[in-house]
Structure 1
Amino acid sequence: MNDILIVDGYNVIGAWTELKALQNSDFERARDLLVDKLSEYQAVTGWQVILIFDAYLIPGKETKTKKSKIEVIYTKKSEKADQKIEGLIRKLQNVKTRIHVATSDMAEQWAVFSQGALRKPSRELIEEIGEIEREIKKSTTNGQMTQKVKIELDEATRKKLEQMRRGF
């Protein structure tokens, strides 16, 4: 069985205290941090992850990109994330695929459920990602206390290192 997780990006950011606070000061960084967290989720679960953002903040035609093996879709100007999610369910649904949709929008949860997809409230996804992060931290430290060293980097160096880390 192939599992696909479709994430309503702005809905999850709005439900995630840390990302919601970051969104107010650095919108792009909040989106990037969500991609990073979903990338870890994808690596652990093995699920395909598709992240959808409404284009109401980025007018124009639909754009698709790949970031850390996460497919990121910005809807076209007149299209809501909910519409895109429902269209993707119709396109991707088959007997070998189980589709999960992460959103806190109750109307959208019922719409995707009626199409045969599984509902995953944003809070549940956030809790699962938190558990994955705790497990990763626990396994990498083997229960030992580690001393953290923070090295200040300029933005250009940070971006270059991030590109190297992600392999592009």
Structure 2
Amino acid sequence: MAERSYMIFDGYNVIGGTERYRTNSTGSLDDSRELFISDCLKAAGWTGAEIFIVFDARGPSENHEIRAGGAARIIYSPSGQSADDVIERLLAHLTGNKTVYSADFALQRTALARGAKRATPGEFQALLNELPAVTRNPNKRARSRIVDRLSRETLESLEDVRRRAGEREE
């Protein structure tokens, strides 16, 4: 059985550190947050990782969790605690491959100390850029074909090699 994988996001940190989510691009913080959550769901579908998105809560709030499409867990930190505190607790309790996405250097160091990988908001943007236009369903096994990943020139060269090998056999 494969080891579980987790992608853990310092929500507002990633939103603030990625041009795609800046409010001058989306119109509002709510729109930025919704776009970010949507992108996280796409990443979950493509990578098969479980997603935790942690936001700093404003004002008095209980630590509550909302499931978005069943693929991501959205957690708002309780009053008096930061998203970093919640992420540190997650790192202590989750077993498997963990990657923390944040531009916060202190949180990155904590992630590394807890055996997790760290990634920047820019690396999340790079992952999104690699996703196909339509991401796969996480419950359906994706077919990966080499022909879909090779350049036209490489395909033509391989076809030439195949033809020459076929001519020799005749």
TM-score, normalization: structure 1? 0.73
Question: Following the alignment from structure 2 to structure 1, what is the Cα–Cα distance between the partners of residues 59 and 52?
Answer: 18
- Percent identical among aligned pairs is 25
Q: Is the 8 A contact 1:22 1:29 kept in 2?
A: no
Question: Gapped runs of 5+ residues in structure 1?
Answer: 143-168
Question: Gapped runs of 5+ residues in structure 2?
Answer: 135-147, 149-170
2:91 alignment partner in structure 1: 89
1:105 alignment partner in structure 2: 104
The structure with the larger Rg is: 2
More helix, by proportion: 1
Cα distance, 1:124 vs. partner? 0.5
Question: Following the alignment from structure 1 to structure 2, what is the Cα–Cα distance between the partners of residues 123 and 30?
Answer: 16
Is the partner of 1:86 in helix, strand or coil? helix
Distance 1:22 1:38, change over 3 A: farther
Distance 1:104 1:121, change over 3 A: same
Question: Following the alignment from structure 1 to structure 2, what is the Cα–Cα distance between the partners of residues 62 and 131?
Answer: 33
Question: Following the alignment from structure 2 to structure 1, what is the Cα–Cα distance between the partners of residues 25 and 66?
Answer: 21
Q: Residue type matched to 1:130 in 2?
A: N
Cα distance, 1:53 vs. partner? 0.2
Structure 1 segments, 4+ long, off by >6 Å, are none
Would you say 1:65 and 2:66 are equivalent positions? yes
Cα distance, 1:88 vs. partner? 0.5
Would you say 1:42 and 2:36 are equivalent positions? no
1:13-162 alignment runs, 5 A limit: 13-22=15-24, 25-55=27-57, 57-68=58-69, 69-93=71-95, 97-132=96-131, 135-136=132-133
* Deviation string, structure 1 residues 68-117 (Cα, Å, up to 9, x no partner): 22100001011101111011010113xxx111100011111011100111
Distance 1:37 1:24, change over 3 A: closer
Question: Following the alignment from structure 1 to structure 2, what is the Cα–Cα distance between the partners of residues 51 and 22?
Answer: 22
Q: Residue type matched to 1:52 in 2?
A: V
**Over aligned residue pairs, what C-alpha RMSD do you find?**
2.0
Paired positions, count: 133
Question: Following the alignment from structure 2 to structure 1, what is the Cα–Cα distance between the partners of residues 60 and 24?
Answer: 22
